[in-house]
């Protein structure tokens, strides 16, 4: 695990990328960013907000409730949780509710029904209107979840 701070140039590029990917989400410009390499091409970016960089994809960290609350969300039933936490995509039969609009390939967060806690982050495989009409099939590609490598690395870095 390699930990380093991003240069001013890298932070400027990251801020530009955040603003272009998430124009509707008000994130303070990042100033000091600690980068933790989880695997080759996969990083945990830590500041006031915690982000995940998977090659060219940028995601909010599932444990960053403040940041996750700005994204469209899908609430799933209790029976879906164990599958999603084990890495399964979010399937239509397990979805109880949609909040916010989303289009294909947009970041979507996944909440569990009982306590409304975030359990996963992924990208939409179809837009919201199609997802609501569907009765089966995958709706969100699961890219990050509670208990995955990013989660474990975050816990180990913040506890030391």
pLDDT digits (tens, 9 = 90+) for 84-102: 999 999 999 999 999 999 9
Dist CA 91 CA 142 (whole Å): 10
pLDDT for 160: 62
Query: Does a structural domain hold residue 40?
Result: yes
Residues 82 and 121 in one domain: yes
pLDDT for 1: 79
Task: Report whether 125 contacts 138 (CB < 8 A).
Answer: yes
Domain extent, residue 129, equals 67-145
Dist CA 6 CA 52 (whole Å): 14
pLDDT for 15: 93
Query: Does a structural domain hold residue 153?
Result: no
For 104-143, the DSSP string reads TT-EEEEEETTT--EEEEEEESS-HHHHHH-SSSEEEEEE
Q: How many domains does the chain have?
A: 2
Residues 71 and 141 in one domain: yes
Percent of the chain with pLDDT over 90: 85
Extract long-range pairs of 8-17: CB within 8 Å, 24+ residues apart.
14/45, 17/58
- pTM of this prediction exceeds 0.85: yes
pLDDT for 130: 96
- Residue 42 pLDDT > 80, yes or no? yes
- Residue 137 pLDDT > 70, yes or no? yes
Dist CA 138 CA 90 (whole Å): 6
- Residue 26 pLDDT > 80, yes or no? no
């Amino acid at each position: 695990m390699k930990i380093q701070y991003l240069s001013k140039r890298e932070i400027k590029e990251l801020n530009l990328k955040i603003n272009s990917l998430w124009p509707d989400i008000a994130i303070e410009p990042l100033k000091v960013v600690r980068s933790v390499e989880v695997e080759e091409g996969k990083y945990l970016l830590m500041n006031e907000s915690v982000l995940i960089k998977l090659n060219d994809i940028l995601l909010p960290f599932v444990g960053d409730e403040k940041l996750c609350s700005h994204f469209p969300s899908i609430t799933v039933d209790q029976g879906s949780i164990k599958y999603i936490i084990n890495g399964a995509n979010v399937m239509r039969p397990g979805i109880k509710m949609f909040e916010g609009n989303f289009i294909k390939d947009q970041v979507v967060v996944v909440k569990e029904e009982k306590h409304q806690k975030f359990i996963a982050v992924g990208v939409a495989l179809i837009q919201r209107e199609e997802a609501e009409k569907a009765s089966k099939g995958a709706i969100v590609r699961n890219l990050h979840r509670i208990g995955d490598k990013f989660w474990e690395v975050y816990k180990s870095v913040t506890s030391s």
